[in-house]
Amino acid sequence: MLKTRRKPSLAEEKSLRAEGFRFIAGVDEVGRGALMGPVVAAAVIMPENIKARWKSRVRDSKQLSPEVREYLSPFIKETAISFGIGSTPNDIIDTVGIARATCIAMISAIQQLAPQPQFVLIDYVRLHELMIPQKGIIRGDSLCFSIACASIIAKVYRDRMVIEMDGDYPGYGFAGHKGYGTREHIACLREKGPCPLHRRSFRPVSDIIDQRL
């Protein structure tokens, strides 16, 4: 059973609205540490007053079970003023690096928002090329309601992608571990070698490739 964690608050959003900002986006990514597949980001602009019962269940997506994430994601999308999802595939990750690939996915998600946000709250990182006022918040997905909502949307979207990928490349257990470096995943990598979805610049994938040459 998952332990109850601190609820993300609306303190950041309320402070910004007091300064005159109306459309405030929360942004988060998932899949940064996985060994395969894309990094996915979501951006979401939530309305000022949400009175729905599901609101109290919102947490950082990592603190929620898959069932609760699947329950919350459609409510968040339906309630949102706007949301966007961006992804960067594994081959681009290998080319530009995971930090740059994450920024690409986040900017793509933000660009899909209509209206465009007047301020952006981001989990940890800053997007220096984004010409919108922003704030990077350490552990933002645990502290900030809008970022937590974005983390849920991104996690559900990526998990569904990886489950479909499991059908295309069976035998690696993608549907179970979602591409992260579990003992099972690494054992399958050593036995079968990497598939086209693996991030070849990531260890231990790169080490296994070298060993098989």
pLDDT tens-place string over residues 104-153: 999 999 999 999 999 999 988 889 889 999 999 999 999 999 999 999 99
Please check whether residue 207 lies inside any domain of the structure. no
CA distances from 76 to 13, 44, 81, 148 (A): 16, 9, 10, 10
Answer yes or no: are the C-beta atoms of 141 and 60 closer than 8 Å. yes
Q: Specify the 3-state DSSP secondary structure of 134.
A: strand
Please check whether residue 88 lies inside any domain of the structure. yes
Please check whether residue 177 lies inside any domain of the structure. no
pLDDT tens-place string over residues 151-201: 999 999 999 999 999 999 999 999 999 999 999 999 999 999 999 999 999
Please check whether residue 115 lies inside any domain of the structure. yes
Please check whether residue 179 lies inside any domain of the structure. no
Domain of 136 in residue numbering reads as: 11-167
Alpha-carbon torsion (71, 2, 158, 9), positive or negative: positive
Please check whether residue 30 lies inside any domain of the structure. yes
Q: How many domains does the chain have?
A: 1
**CATH number reported for the structural domain that contains residue 37 in this entry:** 3.30.420.10
Report the alpha-carbon distance of residue 164 to residue 197 in Å, rounded. Answer: 12
pLDDT at 4 over 50: no
Answer yes or no: are the C-beta atoms of 149 and 134 closer than 8 Å. no
Alpha-carbon torsion (178, 203, 169, 150), positive or negative: positive
Please check whether residue 99 lies inside any domain of the structure. yes
Please check whether residue 19 lies inside any domain of the structure. yes
Backbone conformation region of residue 140, classed left if phi is above 0, alpha if psi is from -120 to 50, else beta:
alpha
Q: Specify the 3-state DSSP secondary structure of 45.
A: strand
